[in-house]
Amino acid sequence: MNQNNPEDVLLAVINKVLEFSGEGEQAKAQHILPFVYESVMQYPQLLWDNKEIWKIAKALLVMHHYDMIDDEDEEIKMLQMAFVFSQRAIELSAPNEGDAADEDYFHALHTQIMLLSSCQDYYTTTIADLCSKPEMTDEERLIANRIANRIIPVIAYNMIVKVDDTFEDFHNDSLLAEMCNKFELENPDITPKQLDDAIKIHKMLIRTYLEHFKK
């Protein structure tokens, strides 16, 4: 690691965060997470061309689970950025046709699935907006939110299927296997059109957050 290179420094600190959180050392992770948060908020493009950028998304997800952000607007922005970082990693690490996928591709997909499944409420509003029309009544808005809540699990399921299509047996990830089985048991009548619609909304969600990211 080049200690004078900001990318290397940030990645090294993030690796320690993920190591500590994975070992259940919450206090140690919390001690250095503010450095990650402040660095990313100030320099969001720092790891933009590095396929390990998914690690930023995962670190921000850890920060969310540790309930370290008091301001709701800041937390929403943080989770939107985490979504963008996970998507960027998916794009950078996606294998070419015929090539084997690497670990970064799996982790990028896995991180976005975890964002969708554990932070669903933070993404529901955006999807409801995408499904809405101007000047809706309160009842129509409520319906849009219900639709959004139904769509997010379908988006996550599509991504889980992508993992299973790319890696053998969900890359031996029992949580993804359980999530897939649970979804299929609860949604036996899901149609190809519903899956395709979820893909389209997923793309719209990505475009929306990228526009926010560039501002």
Instruction: Determine contact, residues 79/115, Cβ cutoff 8 Å.
Output: yes
Is position 1 within any domain? no
- Mean residue pLDDT across the chain: 93
Gap between the Cα atoms of 167 and 189, Å rounded = 26
Residue-wise pLDDT tens digits, 77-124: 999 999 999 999 999 999 988 888 999 999 999 999 999 999 999 999
- Entry field: residues in the chain: 215
Instruction: Determine contact, residues 10/55, Cβ cutoff 8 Å.
Output: no
Report the number of distinct structural domains present in the chain.
1
DSSP 97: T
Give residue 134's pLDDT band: very low, low, confident or very high (50, 70, 90). confident
Residue-wise pLDDT tens digits, 163-206: 999 999 999 999 999 999 999 999 999 999 999 999 999 999 99
pTM of the model: 0.93
Q: Mean pLDDT across the stretch 149-168?
A: 96
Is position 185 within any domain? yes
- Structural domain boundaries enclosing 157: 6-214
Is position 70 within any domain? yes
